[in-house]
Amino acid sequence: MDLEEKMDLIASTGEEVITIGELKHLLETKDHPIAYDGFEPSGQLHIAQGLFRSINTNKMLKAGVHFKFWVADWFGWMNNKMGGDLDKIKQVGEYQIEVWKACGMQVKDVEFLWASDAIAEKEYWKRTVNIARNNTVQRIVRCSQIMGRSEKDTLSAAQIFYPCMQASDIFHLKADITNLGMDQRKVNMLAREVGPKLGLWTPVVVSGHMLMGLNKPPSDIADPVEKAIAMKMSKSIPDSAIFMTDSEAEVKRKISKAYCPVTIEENPMIEYMKYIIFPSFPEVKIERSSRFGGDVAYASFDDLAKDFKEGKLHPMDLKAATALYINKMLEPVRKHFSTGKAKDMADFVKSEKTTR
């Protein structure tokens, strides 16, 4: 794979790359740059965290990137996930790794690391405190959206310190690239600002797309990042999310109720086709009655989106096809978690209160 192909593949995992020039230089000077994503173990995974994350991670691996997953158990504890029970948080972390194994992520080539293992290191805290020393409280509070909070929320002292630790993680992991969601952009920019001040490097930021939930998106938010956060799939609103172990019938039920108006392209069905289904299947077939033109097959997402926008593809037919392909992708996960230890893991997570 040549340089341009690697750049295109890495850039395709994000909506924004800061900066393309830095990414090019990184790939010219380092054969296997390190990228990372982090996650708080906080309940069931939905398809944005499961299928979509797996697709993008596999792209990174194909481009020659060494990928690290940061299992942010201490961060979930600080953010009061799983009732603030660290042992439960760790169990959920193990479950989430198991989901990725079952849904096709090339986990043998991924390095999973736990935040709790870094906490005892003196250098970790020295760097974290230096990041805090170089920023105001106001600057740090502006990063609160990374925790699923807003600047208007009442934050605990632990939550205020959270962004300093997350910025520190980047340097602890020796990450050249941050490959987190767009909702994590502010803390990644903080790391870019503070890195040179501490004699460290400036990470390349590849901010991932926020996959839409099933509900109608808000129309009163002008800022594109804030709107994406408000639109994203949320496990705290169960019917807005398709979970990785949802039954076939449950997937069909949720999708049948989903927002998908005629000819309006900003809807979750179009999103899932673009970001999950077309990257996973060479062709998408949609079954239709002969009264409405009969079955149709699409070899490209653009052709499908064009037909939908022009009213040639009905929302009900698009929904039925979306449910069919999503269920195909979830079937190995459902099967994996139907017996043995994996079933026990899934039952435990489902029994716990879902948190955002």
Q: Note down pLDDT in tens along the chain; length 356 residues.
A: 899 999 999 999 999 999 999 999 999 999 999 999 999 898 899 999 999 999 999 999 999 999 999 999 988 898 888 888 999 999 999 999 999 999 999 999 999 999 999 988 999 999 999 999 999 998 988 887 666 666 566 778 878 888 999 999 999 999 999 999 999 999 999 999 999 999 999 999 999 999 999 999 887 887 777 877 788 888 778 789 999 999 999 999 999 999 999 999 999 999 999 999 999 999 999 999 888 889 999 999 999 999 999 999 999 999 999 999 999 999 999 999 999 999 999 999 998 865 44
Q: How many domains does the chain divide into?
A: 2
Question: Is residue 325 within 8 Å of 298, Cβ to Cβ?
Answer: no
Q: Is the dihedral of CA 267, 272, 278, 283 positive or negative?
A: negative
Question: Is residue 342 within 8 Å of 72, Cβ to Cβ?
Answer: no
Residue 296 is assigned to a structural domain of this protein: yes
Q: Residues 193, 272: one domain?
A: no
Q: Residues 189, 274: one domain?
A: no
Q: Residues 165, 304: one domain?
A: no
Q: Global pTM?
A: 0.92
Q: Residues 184, 293: one domain?
A: no
Residue 228 is assigned to a structural domain of this protein: no
Q: Residues 99, 184: one domain?
A: yes
Q: Residues 146, 270: one domain?
A: no
Residue 102: which CATH number?
A: 3.40.50.620
Q: Residues 159, 33: one domain?
A: yes
Residue 117 is assigned to a structural domain of this protein: yes
Domain limits for position 250: 246-336
Residue 328 is assigned to a structural domain of this protein: yes
Q: Residues 88, 199: one domain?
A: yes
